[in-house]
């Protein structure tokens, strides 16, 4: 699960993605706190292995990149 906050000056599409694994969606969101839940699957629907994954959340205003752990 990824929690993030969008500010009042952020506009345009939000694009969260897990590198080399999956683009979760591309959509406009209202200002506020949001939660993304990844099902542990790749773009082609296959289950990925436990491990450390790097994700990025991008907007027109910039992006953040962080690590997450997938444990099964």
Ordered by where they begin, the domains of the chain are: 2-70 (2.60.40)
Mean pLDDT per 10-residue segment, the chain (72 residues) = 65 71 81 85 91 87 88 89
What is the pLDDT, as a whole number, of residue 1?
Answer: 67
b/e sequence 7-42, b meaning 16+ C-beta within 10 Å: eeeeeeebbbbbeebbebeeeeeeeeeeeeebebee
pTM: predicted TM-score of the whole model, two decimal places:
0.71
What is the pLDDT, as a whole number, of residue 4?
Answer: 66
């Amino acid at each position: 699960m990824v929690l993030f906050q969008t500010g009042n000056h952020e506009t345009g599409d939000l694009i969260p993605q897990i590198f080399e694994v999956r683009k979760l969606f591309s959509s406009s969101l209202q200002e506020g706190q949001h939660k993304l839940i990844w099902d542990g699957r790749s773009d082609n629907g296959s289950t990925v292995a436990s491990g450390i994954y790097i994700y990025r959340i991008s907007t027109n205003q910039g992006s953040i990149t962080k690590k997450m752990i997938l444990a099964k």
